[in-house]
Structure 1
């Protein structure tokens, strides 16, 4: 893969790592404390905070759970608020809707 094409992704992951580190420090937790609460090794926490690109999503979810912020993971791509997706769907709506009237049998 072209590394320059992934530069925005790499920057975003590094920024997320720094945010995790800041959240940990604000809560007065050492890396060892966070690792213990997450059920992972200290080196996993270090790699996550460094923005290592191979980190599993479950580690992010575990860190968010320790911080009391797990709900934010669900809201990352909140489909009712997905303006692009909703616009694309709306563009495909038919301009006219016809009723499906069924003919009822005539009574004799």
Structure 2
């Protein structure tokens, strides 16, 4: 059966996932870790590992992150949407800053509930 998620993803996202999967496979091979060993260490099936290495969008992000952890490459996962790397978001936030800040006018005794 064809994966319904795959057809709905934008092409750049599909390419990104394929590259991620290929990079994961290359990292595993550089470390000379057999696929069955990798799957056991990541607590996933060999089939799921094969899907990850193909960049299958139907595999959970948790499984991708676990495989990266097993490879010792999990640091990059935390940086994916890090606010310090969100240039557009930071620019938009800065646009909403007030141009000047006014101090509130001192309240009279009457406004404070005094005599």
Scaled to the shorter chain, the TM-score interval is 0.7 to 0.9
Matched, 1:33 2:29: no
Q: TM-score, normalising length from structure 1?
A: 0.86
Q: 5+ unaligned residues in a row in structure 1: which ranges?
A: none
Q: 5+ unaligned residues in a row in structure 2: which ranges?
A: 110-115
Q: TM-score, normalising length from structure 2?
A: 0.81
Poorly superposed stretches of 4+, deviation over 2 Å: 100-105
Residues 83 and 49 of structure 1: CA distance in aligned 2, closer, same or farther (over 3 Å):
same
Q: Distance in 2 between matches of 1:26 and 1:59?
A: 20
Residue aligning to 2:76: 72
Q: CA RMSD of the aligned region, Å?
A: 2.0
Residues paired across the two proteins, number: 104
Residue aligning to 1:61: 65
